[in-house]
Structure 1
Amino acid sequence: MTQETWRKYSEWPLVGAAFLFLAAYSILVIYEPPAPYAAILNWVMWLTWIVFGLDYLVKLALAPHRGRWFVRHPMDLLMVVVPVARPLRLLRPFTLRQVMARSPGLAIRTRVMAYVIASALILIYTVALSVLSSEKSAPNANITTMGDSLWWATVTITTIGYGDYYPVTVPGRWAAAALMVGGFAVLSMVTAAVSSWLVESVSAATAARIKPSEVSTSEELARLTAQIEQLHARLAANPEAAHDDDGRHGGMQDGAAR
């Protein structure tokens, strides 16, 4: 079995595992269910960890160059080591390379914007869950509800940062740092898409202004070419007339010289 074959059959089951993890983690953090239900949810989260771990080991074993694959795929390892990164697997079937493949300019920008928005929403929600899990029981914490955590995550990823809510625990601050980095990446992609649209719009407007003059020049060249071809055809059909014309022209020049 090759790595591509394994990826083909494991992609959507891993998306399902990521969704199960996100659902179980959300219920566990937001609603704090009693012990029997909490134990079931913890088992679901452990099961998803086993699934992601097996997927990583199989891909590493099937890689032609394991060291190179290990270096070039840090996100796969991150989803095994860091639980809150597993929901990012929901985006893996729609990688940015696939989003941009075989599409015209406008379609690429539309798909990239949709991909960026989906990435931002998943990042905001998962980091908000992680921060709430760390903060809600901490002394002097001001992020104690999911609403507060979502508000904080939204203003943080957009680099607004009112400062009315902030994490006080070490895990919460690490999550905040990851969210800030993600926010810069999201804004960079949005800026690139908008810049591409502006450049294409200006190029289209410039081409629209230049096109009429190019058309008139092309028509004039075509007209002159047709006249020259007609003249050549007439000369080829009546070479004696051309010789007489040359003689008369030469006689006129001699008379003028005298």
Structure 2
Amino acid sequence: MESEDRLRRWEQVTAYPLTVLSVLFIGVYAWPILDPGMHPAWRHACEAVDAAIWALFCVEYLVRLRLARQKSWFVRSHWFDLAVLVLPVLRPLRALRLLNAFRVMHRHAAHWTRGRLAVYVISATILIVLVAALAVLEAERGHPDSNIQSYPSALWWAVCTITTVGYGDLYPETLEGRMVAVALMIGGLGLIGFTTGSLASWIVDRISDTERPAGMATRADIALLLREVRKLQAEVADLKSRSPAPQDPER
């Protein structure tokens, strides 16, 4: 039990530092892609910072594994974290390193209210589109048969893909680019569905509140009023039973 408490405290303490590292992680990944003509020294520096942050994420996972009371349960319940750390070792799956930026936020999203969760999902959707455009541009740039050679083109492709529009004017040719497309299709279905569902639910709630006449009692209000009436009736009956019976004046 003590180890689980230490694990929760560790996750709370490292939440904000890991979020900052995630943002920096995206920055050092995006800079060389958006500026292909940057100086080699800066490119090597970005790669070094990228690798260092990835190593810190690995250390953070190992610390949580060490603090967990049931190691096997922790690995099974945090398989996504482990996959994000291990799979990018393979060159075609290197873009999966960017998922480290999402797993930190996802760890706390389950405890949020519907409003905060909707904001999180919308923000995550936008971030996934931006990051997927970076990943596919890195994979496709320089390929002779690819038609995705600039970030605006990659961004247009990402938007069309995640919304399942798929005009077909832009498409990846490399294996890495197609893996990014598959991940974007799978993740986009859930994110877009949740976003549109939350928006529709919010609109329905607002319309219901607007159309309901002023002063109209809800079922909960009526049930509460009935309980109060029954309570008063019980108190009156109890008072009557305790009071002495009136004497007959003719006697």
Shorter-chain TM-score bucket reads 0.7 to 0.9
Does the alignment pair 1:97 with 2:110? yes
Residue 19 of structure 1 aligns to which amino acid in structure 2? V
Does the alignment pair 1:138 with 2:151? no
Residue in structure 2 matching 1:173, options 175, 178, 188? 178
1:1-258 aligned at under 5 Å gives the runs 2-32=6-36, 33-81=38-86, 82-89=96-103, 91-92=105-106, 95-100=108-113, 108=114, 110-194=115-199, 196-197=201-202, 198=204, 202=208, 205=212, 208=216
RMSD: 3.4
Residue 119 of structure 1 aligns to which amino acid in structure 2? A
Residue 111 of structure 2 aligns to which amino acid in structure 1? Q
Residue 42 of structure 1 aligns to which amino acid in structure 2? E
Distance 1:12 1:77 in 2: 20
* Seq. identity, %: 27
Match in the other structure for 2:92: none
Tell me: CA distance 1:239–1:177, structure 2 relative to 1, closer, same or farther (3 Å). Answer: farther
Distance 1:74 1:122 in 2: 22
List alignment gaps of at least 5 residues for structure 1.
Answer: 101-107, 242-258
Q: Which structure is larger by alpha-carbon Rg, 1 or 2? A: 1
Tell me: CA distance 1:172–1:188, structure 2 relative to 1, closer, same or farther (3 Å). Answer: same
Tell me: CA distance 1:240–1:97, structure 2 relative to 1, closer, same or farther (3 Å). Answer: farther
Give the structure with the larger helix fraction.
1
3-state SS of the aligned residue for 2:112? helix
| CA displacement 1:7-66 (0-9 Å, x = unmatched) | 222222222221121111111111021211111111001101110111111111221111
Distance 1:96 1:19 in 2: 17
Distance 2:153 2:20 in 1: 28
Tell me: CA distance 1:167–1:4, structure 2 relative to 1, closer, same or farther (3 Å). Answer: same
Distance 1:43 1:34 in 2: 14
Distance 1:210 1:192 in 2: 25
Distance 1:4 1:90 in 2: 14
State the shift of 1:209 in Å: 7.2
Mapped contact 1:141–1:168 kept (Cα < 8 A): yes
Mapped contact 1:87–1:122 kept (Cα < 8 A): no
State the shift of 1:239 in Å: 5.7
List alignment gaps of at least 5 residues for structure 2.
Answer: 87-95
Distance 2:112 2:63 in 1: 26
TM-score (norm. length: structure 2): 0.75
| CA displacement 1:138-165 (0-9 Å, x = unmatched) | 1211111111111111121112222111
State the shift of 1:177 in Å: 0.9
TM-score (norm. length: structure 1): 0.73
- Name the count of aligned residue pairs: 222
Distance 1:194 1:165 in 2: 29
